[in-house]
Amino acid sequence: MKTLIQKIHVEEHYSFACRTYKTPDFETAWHKHLECELILITEGNGTALIGDYIGEYKQGDIFFLNTNVPHWFRKSQKDTIGSAIVIHFMRDFWGEGFLILPEMKNVAGLLANKNTGIQLQGNLLNDIAILIRQLENAEGIERIQLLLNAMQRIGLSTEQNVVTTAFDSMNSGEENSVIETIIDYSFKHFLSPISLKEVAGITRMSIPAFCRFFKRNIKKSYFDFIKEIRIGHACKLLRETSRPVLDICYDSGYNSWAHFSKQFKTVTKIPPSQYRKQHIK
């Protein structure tokens, strides 16, 4: 397993990194790094795990992750292509004192929200996508100007959704291997019944020890984690197919309509039928 702490390589003639990661380089383990990350998904779709957030990602999505936010973008299908333009930069790379300038108030405020992850929305999404694509091919001072412009626009805009906050993870490399094993097992088996005894067994922990370990590291119970994966799968089927809602219930790991409906409303705040109406293209 890869270690949780990822080392970002920055070329000698640059002060921060901006490059495209495409399959197989797109596939990374559950990890975090000291650098802030601005990521534009350019190809593929799947599930984003960011701190304690579980949600879908698709082509065109942009996320900004502050320092030390653990994350993992997992493709929906193993044999598909995943690709993203990713910018990695240290919070103070532009030099000591720069962020305290009055003109930097909005950028400094955005960067001050440590352990926070946000997803961009609306017109902001399109504006920042243009800047990221320009930045990937820029040279010299233009790179810094483009990044500064992007951060300023994000800092000023309300078109964003905070997906995780105050996520503090102090995992060792060994603990991270266990977390990744649990996540990988869960995504492979979430459509089938999973017991705590079963999943605790793969970690060689007792059930109480496993529950404490998972809650400490993922900030939610294991069954809440599975619930969000299953409902996310159901949402995808509701959007992308015309199959009956009851069939989708059973094909999302549930054997009770009442239980499915209740959990769906807990996660999305609306019933499945209303969700489908809102997302008909």
CA 187 to CA 169: how far, in whole Å? 22
Highest mean pLDDT among 12-16, 37-41, 159-163: 37-41
Starting at the edge strand found earlier in the chain, the sheet holding 17-22 runs 17-22, 83-89, 36-43, 62-65, 117-120, 160-164
Do residues 51 and 115 touch, judged by C-beta distance below 8 A?
A: yes
Do residues 41 and 80 touch, judged by C-beta distance below 8 A?
A: no
Amino acid identity of residue 33, one-letter, is H
Taking 50 as the threshold, does the pLDDT of residue 1 lie above it?
Answer: no
DSSP state of 76: S
* Helix, strand, or coil (residue 53): strand
Residue written as token pair 């502050």: 66
What stretches of the chain show up as alpha helix (H) in DSSP? 105-112, 122-136, 141-156, 173-189, 196-203, 207-218, 222-240, 245-250, 257-268, 272-278
Q: In the structure encoding, which two tokens stand for residue 43, read together?
A: 């190809």
| Domains within the chain, CATH numbers bracketed | 17-164 (2.60.120.810), 173-278 (1.10.10.60)
pLDDT of residue 32: 86
pLDDT of residue 169: 54
Taking 60 as the threshold, does the pLDDT of residue 172 lie above it?
Answer: no
Taking 90 as the threshold, does the pLDDT of residue 173 lie above it?
Answer: no
Taking 90 as the threshold, does the pLDDT of residue 88 lie above it?
Answer: yes
pLDDT of residue 95: 83
Taking 50 as the threshold, does the pLDDT of residue 2 lie above it?
Answer: no
CA 162 to CA 118: how far, in whole Å? 4
pTM of the model: 0.79
Q: In the structure encoding, which two tokens stand for residue 39, read together?
A: 């990521």
| Torsion angle in degrees (nearest 10) through CA of 23, 40, 181, 68 | 130
Do residues 237 and 200 touch, judged by C-beta distance below 8 A?
A: no
Name which of 1, 173, 168 is nearest 68 in CA terms. Answer: 168
Please give the helix or strand (H or E) that residue 124 lies within, else none.
Answer: helix 122-136
Taking 60 as the threshold, does the pLDDT of residue 171 lie above it?
Answer: no
* Helix, strand, or coil (residue 49): strand
CA 238 to CA 222: how far, in whole Å? 24
